[in-house]
Amino acid sequence: MEVKLLVGLEIHVQLATKTKMFCGCRLGFNDPPNSNVCPVCIGMPGVLPVMNKTAYEYAVKAGLALNCQIARFTKWDRKSYYYPDLPKNYQTSQYDLPMSFDGYMDIPLEDGRTKTIRIIRAHLEEDAGKNLHEGLDHSQVDLNRAGTPLLEIVTQPDLNSPEECQILAMELQKLVQFLGISEANMQMGHMRFEPNINLIIREHGQEYRTPICEVKNLNSFRALERSVAYEQWRQLEEWKHDSGYTMENRGKQNRGWDDNRNETVFQREKEEAHEYRYFPEPDLVPVEIDDAWLARIQSEMPELPLTMKKRFIEEYGLSEYDASVLTGNRATADYFDAAIQLGGFPKRIANIITQFGLKIANDRQCGVNELGVTPGQVAKLAGLLEEGTVNASAGAAIFEKMLRDSRDPAEIAQSDNLIQQSDAGALEALVNEVIAANAKAFEDFASGGKKAGKARGFLLGQVMQKTKGQANPQVVGQLLDAKGKEKKATEGTEKDE
């Protein structure tokens, strides 16, 4: 038996506009229920919507980043369905003429390769409101979200594992954040995922396709990966017990994800397009984008995450891991780039940000660029580390001091007595003291036997202890090695005599 998983993803991204898609109501998270509503978004008769131009431009940026064709002419459509959180009984969306289509996105795989995922379309629509049930013996409706601008991205079924689904979702989150078109905050519901999942099963020369199941409204990467993995298992088990469990016999269905039970649950048979009774929205004019408008939007496009990551590796010699961490969000990447432009050493700056900055930023729940340490200070600290003026532990102490001290890092190092001792003459006297006080350890080191490495480390540690960690370990190591060779040579001469 040969089994292949096919997954196509629908991703809804809330755009970071100040107001809703077709009215001037404010967008705010956790505002009092029904405080951001007007006659347009609550579906009062006779009202006229007006398109949010910023939302459209944000959607075009996403289409360009996804390598899509940008439609020069598109229209709005009414997608009809009844639900309590949709008071006008239809959703304003785009049906047969989406604003972007026929694109692709490359995602990095765990083995270092990339995989191309085809994008069918990315179009604009409005969100519905929210039904509230928890802790109540009745339902309540909050229409604050009604009319929120959503970008819906639809992929071809090119994803073949739960892990690939999660990678695509995470890369899309990073992409829209880099573009500045969405905060993509999962806790605030800015991104939702709906995987369409089925299997191709080949056995005894026959091919079977299980029914496509769409898992609705997933709001975390973990839920996305686990729901796809569960469906992969469930659909195969269903087919094993019933060979009639195929697309031809069962059609499509919608399912929900139960996070407590770790399983999907049946909701309803999936609607087909004709059931939504799409027709052109008569209250909104079509959108025509000309060369000048498109050129302006293109000129505002930033460097994209994968391109930036590749540049960091090729130009700055960073590791795959460091480049991935630094391009995890645009603010960190720009902060790193700014420090480089100010003359810093790339690998040293990468270490400062990833080992010191991001740890503190995570503890404070802010960006590394918001810590109060300027890119210029980071560049200068990188220079001190590169020159050996300070060591790594001193570098960490200086960075922490810079969180509340705007002085040059060299001044901080000097005033806090953190300058690394590299004067070979001064250090040699200390090395001699340590050797005299630890003759047995020095004998073990100089002999070159099994204990040599451990003995060397002990002697070096004693010197570092005497200097309170300020001795340059490379210089101390060189002095110790020279002393060891000298002793060995002396012993060899004595034996010859």
Quote the pLDDT of residue 494. Answer: 54
Sort 408 into a burial class: Cβ within 10 Å, 0-12 / 13-18 / 19+: middle
Cα–Cα distance between 173 and 323 in angstroms, integer?
17
Reading the block at residue 477, the tokens are: 């190591």
Neighbours of 342 (CB within 10 A): 17
Backbone angles phi, psi at 26, to 5 degrees: -70, 145
Element (H, E) at 243: none
Inter-residue contact 1 to 222 (CB < 8 Å): no
Domains of the chain plus CATH, in order, are 2-291 (no CATH), 303-415 (no CATH), 424-496 (1.10.10.410)
Helix, strand, coil shares of the chain, percent, nearest 5, are: 45, 20, 35
- List of residues 6+ apart from 362 with CB closer than 8 A: none
Quote the pLDDT of residue 471. Answer: 73
Quote the pLDDT of residue 443. Answer: 80
Backbone angles phi, psi at 31, to 5 degrees: -70, 160
Element (H, E) at 92: strand 90-93
pLDDT averaged per 10 residues, the chain (length 497): 96 97 94 95 92 98 98 96 89 96 94 93 96 85 96 98 97 95 93 97 94 95 98 96 90 93 91 85 96 97 92 94 93 95 92 94 93 95 89 89 92 83 69 84 80 83 77 77 76 57
Type of residue found at 31:
D
Reading the block at residue 57, the tokens are: 């431009």
Helix (H/G/I), strand (E/B), else coil: 213: strand
Cα dihedral 328/55/10/178 (nearest 10): -10
Helix (H/G/I), strand (E/B), else coil: 319: coil
Quote the pLDDT of residue 421. Answer: 63
Cα–Cα distance between 235 and 241 in angstroms, integer?
10
Element (H, E) at 47: none
Inter-residue contact 7 to 197 (CB < 8 Å): yes
Inter-residue contact 350 to 322 (CB < 8 Å): yes
Cα–Cα distance between 160 and 137 in angstroms, integer?
42
- Give the rounded distance of the alpha carbon of 116 from its chain centre: 18
Inter-residue contact 383 to 352 (CB < 8 Å): no
Cα–Cα distance between 326 and 329 in angstroms, integer?
7
Inter-residue contact 100 to 57 (CB < 8 Å): no
pTM: 0.84
